[in-house]
Amino acid sequence: MENELRQKAKELLESGQVKQVIGYEDGSTAFKSTPCFASSPEDADRLVWNPTCVNNLAVYLPSAVKQGKVAVAVKPCDGRSVVELIKEHQINRDDVVTMVVPCPGVLNPDALADIDPKTIKNIEWKGDGISVTTDSGEISIPREKAFLDKCLSCTLTDPAVTNIKLGDSPERSPLKDKDAAIAEYEKMSVDERRVFWAKEFTKCIRCYACRQACPACYCKECFVDKNGQVWALKSTDPEANWFFHMTRAMHLAGRCIGCGECERSCPMGIPLTLIGRTLEKDVEEMFGSGAGQDPDALPILGSFDLTKDPDPCPE
């Protein structure tokens, strides 16, 4: 698979079809890969595809396409971000070549909790789960422990914007219900939820990693970065934190594809995907459609049809 990816990337770069290929390459340690920006056929040899390729690379597209056409390696989940970016006019469909990689699931860092990180030499997919090569031998980790939660409930097929499909989609049936986490959350009363979030948001240090990692947060100037007389304060007061996260959640309603990059990048461990998923569930129930499916669909807010308003405002 990895060779196929490199081969394709090379072809695209050699023929000049794209200026750049965005993929993954080995990181500073064996349990992390890092984004790779290949602009020459030689660079393409650095590309890798293994369970540590977690990042949603769509986040780089709006700025990358400014230099010319880009090919990007996407997992089926990340492909939905590409759909959203096209829908929201941040990239032209013609400026991006999606290379959809077959994804059995990506690494949950908790799976390595019992292994001394310094001894890890390699991580690869094996059987249903992963195999970790260490100094002292090979350790197999089963699927339910090896992969991120979103992967265990994943039922996604190739995104609507697939250009190049690499390998065959792995056969997999979801192990978990994708709403298992929010089912627990929804059991809480409104007051309990308030207490829960008050505690979580107190942790926030306003590093904005969640925003930077998010492919849907592409504003040139975030509402929270505005100066002068503003709605949102920059301080880390619990109320100000709360205001930031709730406003961001509202800005993502109907647009969040649930890649989980916000939560993964949060240094304070705030369960941000819970907000995203809860909102998305509401959007799906109320509007009958989810984010990232159809590049030609109107955004939820823009699809309002006055004539179909079930509760029109009285004159």
Partner 1 sequence: MARVGVFVCWCGSNIAKTVDVVKVAEAAGKLPSVAYSTDYKYMCSEPGQNLIKQAIEEHKLDRIVVASCSPRLHEPTFRRCISEAGLNPFMLEMANIREHCSWVHDDKEVASEKALDLIAMSVAKAVKNEALFSQEIPLTKKALVIGGGVAGIQVALDIADAGYKVTLVEKTPSIGGRMAQYDKTFPTLDCAACILTPKMVDAASHPNIEIMTYAEVEKVSGFVGNFEVTIRKKARSVDMKKCTGCGVCYEKCPKKLPSEFDCGLGQRKAIYVPFPQAVPNVPVIDRENCRYFADGGKCGVCAKICPSQAVDYTLEDEMITDKYGAIVAATGFQPWDPTPYTNLGYGRYPDVITSLQFERLFNASGPTEGKLVRPSDHKPPKNVVFISCIGSRDDEHGYPYCSKVCCMYNAKHALLLKEKVHDAQAYVFYMDIRANGKGYEEFVRRTIEKYGAIYLRGRVSRVFQDGEKLIVRGVDTLAGKPVEIEADMVVLAAAMEAQPDAKDLARMLGISTDEYNWFSEAHPKLKPVEVLTAGIYLAGACQYPKDIPDAVAQASGAAAKVVGLFAKESLQSEPTVAEVNEDTCVDCQLCKEVCPYTAIDTKTLTDRAGNPIRTVSCVNEGLCHGCGTCVAACRSSSIQLRGFKDNQILSEIDALAFAE
Q: In the set 180, 230, 268, 286, which binds partner 1 (CB under 8 A)? A: 230
Nearer to partner 1, 218 or 242 (CB): 218
The reply on whether position 187 binds partner 1 by CB under 8 A is no
Kindly tell me which of 207 and 301 has the beta carbon lying closer to partner 1: 301
314 lines the binding site for partner 1 (CB under 8 A): no
Count Cβ atoms below 10 Å from residue 244 Cβ, excluding itself. Answer: 23
Q: Which of 139, 222, 233, 246 binds partner 1 (CB under 8 A)?
A: 222
Residue 303: Cβ within 10 Å count: 12
At its nearest, how many Å lie between partner 1 and the CB of residue 233? 12
- Is 89 among the residues that bind partner 1 (CB under 8 A)? yes
| Comparison of 89 and 187: residue with beta carbon closer to partner 1 | 89
Bridge partners for 140 per DSSP: 131
Question: Given the complex with partner 1, which of 164 and 253 has the nearer CB atom?
Answer: 253
Q: Does 228 bind partner 1 (CB under 8 A)?
A: yes
CB of 84 to partner 1, least distance (A): 10
Taking CB under 8 A as the criterion, the residue among 37, 185, 196, 218 binding partner 1 is 218
- CB distance 31 to 141 below 8 Å: no
The rounded distance, in Å, linking the Cα atoms of 270 and 199 is 10
Residues 6+ apart with CB under 8 A from 215: 56, 58, 59, 61, 78, 81, 84, 85, 257, 259, 261
Contact 249, 276 (CB under 8 A): yes
> Residue 126 interacts with partner 1 (CB under 8 A)?
no
What does the alpha-carbon distance between residue 238 and residue 98 come to, in Å, rounded to a whole number?
41
> What single-letter amino acid sits at 74?
V
Q: Rounded to 5 degrees, what are φ and ψ at 104?
A: -80, -10
223 is an interface residue for partner 1 by CB under 8 A: yes
Per DSSP, what are the bridge partners of residue 37? 22
Q: Is 304 in the site for partner 1 (CB under 8 A)?
A: yes
Is residue 229 within the footprint of partner 1 (CB under 8 A)? yes
Q: What are the CA-CA distances from residue 203 to residues 199, 251, 277 (Å)?
A: 7, 22, 21
Q: Is 311 in the site for partner 1 (CB under 8 A)?
A: no
**Smallest gap from residue 298 Cβ to partner 1 (A):** 6
**Restricting to residues 236-265, which ones interact with partner 1 according to CB under 8 A?**
251
Closest approach, Cβ 187 to partner 1, in A, equals 32
* Single residue of 113, 183, 190, 306 touching partner 1 by CB under 8 A: 306
What is the tally of helices (H) and strands (E) in the chain? 11, 9
137 lies in the binding site for partner 1 (CB under 8 A):
no
- Pick the closer one to partner 1 by CB: 141 or 291: 291
Radius of gyration of the chain from Cα atoms? 21
Of the pair 89, 118, the CB lying nearest partner 1 is at: 89
Where in 276-295 is the site for partner 1 (CB under 8 A)? none
What's the distance, Cα to Cα, between the start and end of the chain in Å?
62
Surface-to-core class of residue 56, CB atoms within 10 Å of its CB (0-12 exposed, 13-18 middle, 19+ buried): buried
**Binding-site ranges for partner 1 (CB under 8 A):** 88-90, 218-223, 226, 228-231, 251, 298-299, 301-304, 306-307, 315
